[in-house]
Structure 1
Amino acid sequence: MSSEMATIRYLEAHTKVPVPRVYEYNDQLDGGGVGTPYVIMSRVEGVPLQKLWREMDDHRRGLVLRQCAEIYLELLSHRFDKIGALFHNKDKGLVEEAWYIGPCPLPDEPTHVGATNGVFRSGADLETTRINAALEAVGEKFFGSENNEYTYIMLWFVRSLTPTIVDPSLDVDGFPIMPYDFHPSNIIVTESDSNPHITGIIDWEFSCTSATWIFCKYPYFITDSYQGATLEWRAERNARDRATFDTAMEEFEGKYFPKQGLHFTKSIASSRKVHAYEEIVWNEDMEYWEELFWIVFGDSQ
């Protein structure tokens, strides 16, 4: 909670990203005498995008995606020197107005995630730590299982790809804050005269600074992983939405970073391999093994 509140307060004070205002909170077990940890924050007007997204036409989805692209670029314009969770000195009883990066408070699953509960100097260090921890966990999680060989081989395969996937050139200015769950249920919108407007991004729990090449992926809800997107009509719509997002990213990146070219836009447009890689390393999602293999070697092999 301490990191989540610090993240929201930083975004409110230093960015244009719409977030709720935190009035007061206490992350102690007894809430400072209340009996439970608590937070009091402002209400965000609107409804979750998830309730509207399926029925939105191309025009309204395009308006939302343009706002998402600008939020992406706003987050990418604020950098930190390490990968980890954002905290504030005042939460430690210190007077200085200073933000700092501490260990990531990560969820308990999958089993190897705990090994990445630290601070890292590069995306390569973070990914290698994750994969090595996953390899160590195989013996404990699947001891005696016939899946051991397959899982071990796939994890070694993924680890061997890490040097070809990591792009440290994107991190020369530091690491951006990456929302842990940029999901349509956490994107709040109002809709007036068919003009949807994002009024707030909620649920910054577990959000940490990230390697830029990990950050630079399409919003999950326009990928073919979201809500049965293998259906032909949804896959076609997602393709149009990604093209819209590419156009918006190109436009806004030219404004936010006029001297650097379109590094982020190009990284997102070519992020299919990174997306599959991350789903395997982070979520152990077996459905992505084959996809990643074909992305690397090509269908003709």
Structure 2
Amino acid sequence: MLRRAVPPLQNQARISLCTTSQLRTHFSQSFHPGWDANNDSYDYTRGRFLSSEAHEMKVRRVKLNMNELAKSAAESLGFTYSQCARIEKLPDGMFNKAFLFTMQDGTRVVGKVPNPNAGRPHYTTASEVATMDFVRNELSTPVPRVLAWSSKANENPVGAEYIIMEKVEGVQLDKVWPKMDIKKRFELVKTISGYQKAWMSTSFTQYGSLYYSSDLPNSEGCVLVKEDESDFEEHRFAVGPTTGREFFDDGNNVYQYKSAVGLRELACVQNMARLPRSLLGLYGPGTYTPSRPKKIAALQDYLRLLPYFLPTDESISSAYLWHPDLHTENIFVHPERPSEVLGIIDWQSSEILPLFDHARQPYLLDYDGPPATGLDPPEFSKNFDQLDPDEQRKAQSLYLNMSLATLYRKLTSAKNKRLFKAMEFGQTSSFDMMLFAHNLLIDGEALYRARILDIEQEWSSLPGVQASGNQPFPLELSAEDVNCIGEDADGAIEGLELMQSVKESLGELWPEKGIVQPDRYDEAKRLLKKVKTELIAQLAHSEAEKKAWEESWPFDD
């Protein structure tokens, strides 16, 4: 079923109008009905995968009728199908296809189509549309207006879920960020902080994702809580199943939600036909061998310890809606005034979560180096004059990044105390142990259980322990258990170091997240094969060990 989100725009209100001469120059091709002949529009073309490529490509391939998508784009603006003059495929995302549709008068809109790996059918698109509406109109954030959409692939002629939305003006922040001085960067950070403050003006009484009530079965709405703690019923919107890509975690209170994380991981470990291979560590004979029982043990420990990890301050456990991925490609700014934000895109998979799960510095402030944890300015390199020019540039860049992160912390501390309090909880062992548990299906169970041994030493300082009258440590670990946990942790560290050596051997060819540029694929495959041969020759001391290392190698041959 197609949704028309707003009435067609009138001619005088259309966006990005071009002159007639500009149109003649820009559009030399007239519209023709053969858009679907360009089959690579449906495939992932931004990179190649060095691990499980056939599967990774399959979950990123979408079959759709481009003629019908163009028709929907044109009609959302009040044009006819034949007045769509150009379609351009935008760079692939990991979870979506996006197309830029330009009409004959220069008006442009974006069409977004989710890949199969984006999330649950219907829910992923329905939630994104409702979230954009809510954030734009209720939380005063510059978000593209949705013009038309459909969350039911089998009920529309496009044959896929889609969203038609306004084309955000301006440029992506990543195009200008490197040229901005710290003053302009901080002005932008203050703007982003203002939006975060707006997001905290309204909280919810449930965790999950946001939808229109009409898109959920038997939903009568939700309860919203304002800053003054007054609440009211909202019938147009409702909280429903999460669209976070970590499967389905939701609940009516923070314990239910965090329990769902562990139960989700546990169900996957128990039921998946084959455990996924990690790209973080290289595990084999003599290092560490992941197994279902070891992962299950770690997750059961998490579930038993969870009540003691949760913060006792309910204000930082309140449920808020937040942008899931605030990096420089998702922020559009004015090209001449880059501290002026014109739009924030990609609200797919937004979740209503405890504030402490949202509370981190925006991804655009991330950098390689020591994290900014206090409010005092960072120290500049004391031996700066003794460094060579390249090292001086690195030292200056690190100082700039740490200073900006510290300024963000100071601003948050002064203007948004609840968010800062949640950020401070994010620096604790309790938060680390909850966050660590989110990915135990893939990796980390050996080090997680080793970290539990440290938690036993910190036990009295945990929030739930202090609140419950100093309860005893609930896990009973024998001397043999402790010894096995230590051996597994040592082996896991060896595996991480081995993978680090592979990464260093490949240098720029290292497949971050398993992906390389298409033109570097063959070279990366060749070098990986060489590294694999050398490593196995070094590590394997028998045919059985050689076979085991062959089977544990996470990259495709």
TM-score class, shorter-chain normalisation, is 0.7 to 0.9
> What letter corresponds to residue 114 of structure 1 in structure 2?
F
User: Which of 387, 407, 410 is matched with 1:244 structurally?
Assistant: 407
Corresponding residue for 1:281?
437
Q: Which runs of 5+ in 2 are unaligned?
A: 1-124, 222-234, 277-283, 371-393, 459-557
Corresponding residue for 2:160?
36
Counterparts in 2 of 1:23 and 1:187: CA distance versus 1, 3 Å: same
- Deviation of 1:57 (Å): 2.3
Corresponding residue for 2:426?
271
Secondary structure at the counterpart of residue 185 of structure 1: helix
> What letter corresponds to residue 266 of structure 1 in structure 2?
K
Corresponding residue for 1:104?
242
User: Which of 202, 206, 214 is matched with 2:345 structurally?
Assistant: 202
Counterparts in 2 of 1:41 and 1:278: CA distance versus 1, 3 Å: farther
Please give the per-residue CA displacement for 1:226-266, whole angstroms capped at 9, x wherever unaligned: xx45776655444222211122223432xxxxxxxx23223
Corresponding residue for 1:258?
none
What are the within-5 Å matches in structure 2 for residues 1-301 of structure 1? 1-30=125-154, 32-91=156-215, 98-107=236-245, 113-116=246-249, 119-139=250-270, 140=272, 141-142=274-275, 146-148=289-291, 151-152=295-296, 154-155=298-299, 158-159=302-303, 162-167=306-311, 169-171=313-315, 174-193=318-337, 195-224=338-367, 228-229=368-369, 235-253=398-416, 262-273=417-428, 276-277=432-433, 279-284=435-440, 293=451
Normalized against structure 2, the TM-score is what?
0.44
Contact 1:123 / 1:168 at 8 angstroms: preserved in 2? no
90-99 or 164-173: bigger deviation: 90-99
- Deviation of 1:171 (Å): 4.4
Secondary structure at the counterpart of residue 268 of structure 1: helix
Contact 1:190 / 1:197 at 8 angstroms: preserved in 2? yes
Counterparts in 2 of 1:187 and 1:229: CA distance versus 1, 3 Å: farther
Counterparts in 2 of 1:162 and 1:173: CA distance versus 1, 3 Å: closer
Counterparts in 2 of 1:158 and 1:229: CA distance versus 1, 3 Å: farther
Residues in 2 aligned to 1:233 and 1:132: alpha-carbon distance in whole angstroms: 45
Residues in 2 aligned to 1:286 and 1:25: alpha-carbon distance in whole angstroms: 38
Q: Which runs of 5+ in 1 are unaligned?
A: 108-112, 254-261
> What letter corresponds to residue 211 of structure 1 in structure 2?
P
- Deviation of 1:203 (Å): 0.7
Secondary structure at the counterpart of residue 196 of structure 1: coil
Counterparts in 2 of 1:88 and 1:251: CA distance versus 1, 3 Å: same
Please give the per-residue CA displacement for 1:214-236, whole angstroms capped at 9, x wherever unaligned: 11222233245xxx457766554
Give me the identity figure in percent. Answer: 19
Secondary structure at the counterpart of residue 199 of structure 1: strand
Name the count of aligned residue pairs.
278
> What letter corresponds to residue 189 of structure 2 in structure 1?
L
Residues in 1 aligned to 2:160 and 2:269: alpha-carbon distance in whole angstroms: 37
> What letter corresponds to residue 187 of structure 1 in structure 2?
I
- Deviation of 1:92 (Å): 6.3
The higher-RCO structure (CA 8 Å, 6+ apart) is 1
Secondary structure at the counterpart of residue 210 of structure 1: strand
Residues in 2 aligned to 1:120 and 1:182: alpha-carbon distance in whole angstroms: 25
Residues in 1 aligned to 2:203 and 2:325: alpha-carbon distance in whole angstroms: 19
Structure with bigger gyration radius: 2
Secondary structure at the counterpart of residue 66 of structure 1: helix
Secondary structure at the counterpart of residue 247 of structure 1: helix
Residues in 2 aligned to 1:275 and 1:95: alpha-carbon distance in whole angstroms: 34
Contact 1:167 / 1:213 at 8 angstroms: preserved in 2? no
Residues in 1 aligned to 2:189 and 2:175: alpha-carbon distance in whole angstroms: 16
Contact 1:85 / 1:101 at 8 angstroms: preserved in 2? yes
Residues in 2 aligned to 1:30 and 1:38: alpha-carbon distance in whole angstroms: 12
Residues in 1 aligned to 2:443 and 2:179: alpha-carbon distance in whole angstroms: 31
> What letter corresponds to residue 313 of structure 2 in structure 1?
S
- Deviation of 1:8 (Å): 0.5
Contact 1:87 / 1:100 at 8 angstroms: preserved in 2? yes
**RMSD (Å) for aligned C-alpha atoms:** 3.7
Counterparts in 2 of 1:219 and 1:150: CA distance versus 1, 3 Å: farther
Counterparts in 2 of 1:252 and 1:16: CA distance versus 1, 3 Å: farther
- Deviation of 1:174 (Å): 4.3
Contact 1:69 / 1:249 at 8 angstroms: preserved in 2? yes
Normalized against structure 1, the TM-score is what?
0.76
